[in-house]
Structure 1
Amino acid sequence: MKIKNALLATAVAAVISPLSAFAQCDQYTSSLDEHVANDRAVAQSFFYTKMYKAKGSLETLGYIGSSVATLNTTDGGDNFQKGECPEETNHAPEIIEYTYTKTVKDYQLVVTGKATDVDGNLSSVGVGNAAFGWNCPGLYLEPNVFSFECVVDVPNLQVDVLNEWYLVAFDAEDKMSEHNEVFFTVIDPTVNHAPEIVSYEYNAVVTDGILTVTGSADDVDGNLDKVIVGNPATPGIECTPIIPTSFECSVDVSGMEKDVEHEWAIAALDTEGVISELKDVKFTVVAEDVNTCVRASNQSHADAGRAISYGTSFFAKGSFQYLGANGVVLTTLEETQENYWVVSDCEAPM
């Protein structure tokens, strides 16, 4: 049911040309001389002194220019009155939270949410554009919290075009809330749309040999089939779905060339084979650090700084593992940390 179309139209138009339904009160506190200097008061001759009066209302403010007074105006500065601005007695309502179908597939826009008013005089919630508005029915499921749902048939809207609507709450005095965006697109149900990669992230620097890509994909037609990652020139590797729209890909890239950037891509496909826009996956495989392994005589180890000798005994540098008392005996040492050598069965280069 259409409601308050003119008022909602004003609310929507106000985003472009702001309007105010209630007078704005501004107040200023300063010396009387400063009020005069800022065109908020006038000074008139009075015998041998001056009489200060508020601009417009001509209320007497005093006779000493350094005296401090507070003035307020509700018409932009043509008329000033003594005193502070009155406290606002009626507050604007508020949309607390809301969700809506950003992609409309069945020509029905659905908006749900909650609204409130601290004054307890919430009147209605409406959604629409500058020409039409629809009432959002609902219930008070919580104290002073109105839970609403709008179901709007939109068969006449142009497909595949962004519609800029707004959600507004009204109180009993027709004061309105802020304008909350409801931007949506109606899609043509007779056309198969390409899926899309909604979001994704990956390790651009691969240190353990495994490239991991995670993210989410979607298809407005509801026929998302799979997500693949790989060299665009190859069929790619299919990712594992976690939930219908989330995915994770783990690919062993340890055999790829090290320390150069590889340019892969990720894409989503639907059940009809339509592919999404390719998203870049650029990564570098870092060569793994390999411990140095050396097989040599104890004396050669000592001469190269891999071992130390005390008399005729030899010890691995760092770990002080005993290597024997013969300098010609062959021993295999592995450097597990800088200048820390241990006896090992690692495969030393010949």
Structure 2
Amino acid sequence: MKTWLLALSAVAVINMIGLSIVLIIKKIRSKKNWLIAAILILPAYSIFLASIRYAGLFSNYSFLIALDYILIYLWPPVILFYVRMMTGRKISFRLKTFLHFLPSFLVLCFMLTLFLKTEWTYLLNHLQTKQGLLFTDFLEIPFVIQALSYLFYCRKKVLNHNQSVKKSTDKIHPVSLRWLQTLIQGLIVIILIVSVAAVFFPLVEYFLFFMSIASIIPYFYLFFKLLSSEHLFSEKDHEFLKSFFVPQKKQLLFSFPEKKIQIKTADTQFFIDIASLLYIRSEEKYTRVYLADRSYLSDYTLIELEKKFPEDLLRIHRNSLVNIHHVKNIEKIPGGKLFLVMADKEKLEVSRRMAEPVKVVFSS
């Protein structure tokens, strides 16, 4: 049983650390992704250390256990900061903010006290008391109370955010955080299962701890997939998109006449104004330019047109550009897909990768 426990916890740890590394490498500028990495790494380390402790290995390395307890008390505040950032609130580091880290600091002081008193060092590895079937832990019970209070508070904040999203009447709704709500609720369930097992069912604690680790592996994989579908951008990306598109909108009426695309046919060639263009699609080596009543083939590639008219044309898919001034509406279907409704009533699908920049542009 101990071998399986260690093996499964190792898989969970590798999975969570791997996902956190991918997130950091992918978008290193985003503060949100640094917090996500902490949300993944901290419990990963704690799970592995707890498994070692249950298996009775490295019992003499008390500093590892001390570090485990110090880090798990940091985890709930990190989740709270992440929820605040996702719901649009700024984090200002004032004295009140540092109070969130007070439990972790107190645990650090307690551990240092134990290390300084050598006769207490052995106590560090046996901080539990058993009274019949009742199992309590001197440091884990405060953590469970802290974690559940933070998670229930975070759940309330995310629920309020999602309710405001439902009531929104804007064409571009604020991003729903249903996946984050699911994540928090799952974490609450996992903590409750392990806590109930530790207090009331010490004989089956191995089994339930085993099951909790097993649930974390697909759970965080689902978390990563949902996160990828949201395509969170860094703060710099948002500012770049807003500053790039918004000021240009005010000058478009004056710059239209100078913006033309060359069209070549078998008989002749001519130019069309960018203002009359609705959208563009790639067709093998050519691109097809769509107007209100007809379409033409052009020698320009999508990349060339995107670079030539960046303030007018927006990429929504790897094979599609749209004129942002002819987008009449935006529809979101169940499943999270976005569609742009153009002036000719054509519906163009927005790829998941481009969903976030499209929302930023049209919400400005």
- TM superposition score normalised by structure 2: 0.21
When Rg is computed on C-alpha atoms for both structures, the one with the higher figure is 1
Q: Quick check: which one's helix share is greater? A: 2
Higher strand share: 1
Question: Normalising by the residue count of structure 1, what TM-score does the alignment of the two structures yield?
Answer: 0.21
